[in-house]
Amino acid sequence: MRNGANARFALVFAGLLAVIAASVYLSLTNGTFDLSVADVMKTLLRLDRVHEHELVVFEFRLPRIVLGGLVGFALGVAGSVIQGVTRNALADPGILGINAGAGMAVVLFMLLLQGEMNTTGWLAVFTMPLFGVAGGLAATAMIYVFARSRGGGLDPQRLILAGIAISSGFGAVTLYASLRMNARDFEMAAVWLTGSIYGADWKFVAMMLPWLLVLVPFLWLRANVLDLFQLQESSVKGLGVSMERERNRLLLGSIGLVSVSVAVSGSIGFVGLLGPHIARRLVGLRHRLSLPISGLVGAAMVIAGDLIGRSVFAPAELAVGIVISIIGVPYFVYLLIRARK
């Protein structure tokens, strides 16, 4: 049985890598300035150095693709962890208000320091995620307060309702803060809030990598604990597992991934909802297998969504967050209807 599951995992893993590779190929070669495969390969290998080609590939398209992949992977893994901890298939960083809390904190950072710090400089790029984590923790603390049942556990229905209310409240604060900005910063914040990786550069990639290299292995090594969370709480405690401590560790790790993603790309919703669902359908319920698959699904979604947003609607450009929401909202409604049956 386990050998069959591992073989299926390897097949799905390879298939998703192929989908991502195809999306990367289309993203590199298509756009306002089209490039052939030969041009891209020569530019990547530095065989025939053409300034225009290097500018398009290394400054505009490649950092955007890499950042989109990292953001999608982080959101997919975080969504899988959050659904596992809450035992709620409808849980998602965006729906629960974690995205809104992190986004509010980052916008307040932009507002408080406007004119005093270059928001695209190295110091600001590495500082913004810390504000995002603080906002995500604030949202999570409020969820714990409002979504607890009388028995002390997290009630799935109250969880969704509390998340929607918290998200609306943080969204109002974010809108108020953005309206206090000058015209230039407001425009930048408005584009960022829709969930966009427009203007991505290698600084954002360098900032995200340490977080992913630390938090993703940390969460994956606790995959067996996540599997235990699907049992009754009394059963888990009978196995000697400290539920509160492990829940706090897992939530803190997932909040870190969500917050660093929001800091560089704004609020891209539904990746953390769709990724885990697709992963479970492909490789089953074991988190040791579904966590990396959920991350790859998320990466494929963001890279493909960004490609669609900047090519299908050309010369206009649609933010990747909007493209994914067009797909995610109907799927969320479908899950709600199925949960009622």
CA distances from 279 to 17, 274, 276 (A): 14, 9, 5
What residues contact residue 205 under an 8 Å CB cut-off, 6+ apart?
63, 66, 67, 70
| pLDDT at 341 (0 to 100) | 58
Q: What is the DSSP string of 101-115?
A: HHHHHHHHHHHHTTT
Instruction: Considering the domain delimited by 2-340, tell me its CATH architecture.
Output: Orthogonal Bundle (1.10)
pTM listed for this prediction: 0.91
CB atoms within 10 A of CB 60: 17
Domain borders along the chain are 2-340
Tell me whether residue 319 is exposed, middle or buried, using C-beta atoms within 10 angstroms of its C-beta: 0 to 12, 13 to 18, 19 or more.
buried
Q: What is the dihedral of CA 113, 114, 120, 123, to 10 degrees?
A: -20
| pLDDT at 67 (0 to 100) | 94
The SS3 of residue 154 is: strand
| pLDDT at 236 (0 to 100) | 65
| pLDDT at 299 (0 to 100) | 96
CB environment 295-306: b (16+ within 10 A), e (fewer): bbbbbbbbbbbb
CA 58 distance to own-chain centroid: 23
Q: Which residues of the chain have pLDDT under 70?
A: 1-2, 114-121, 149-156, 232-240, 339-341
Q: What residues form DSSP beta bridges with 154?
A: 148
Q: What residues form DSSP beta bridges with 148?
A: 154
| pLDDT at 312 (0 to 100) | 81
Strands (E), 6-46: none
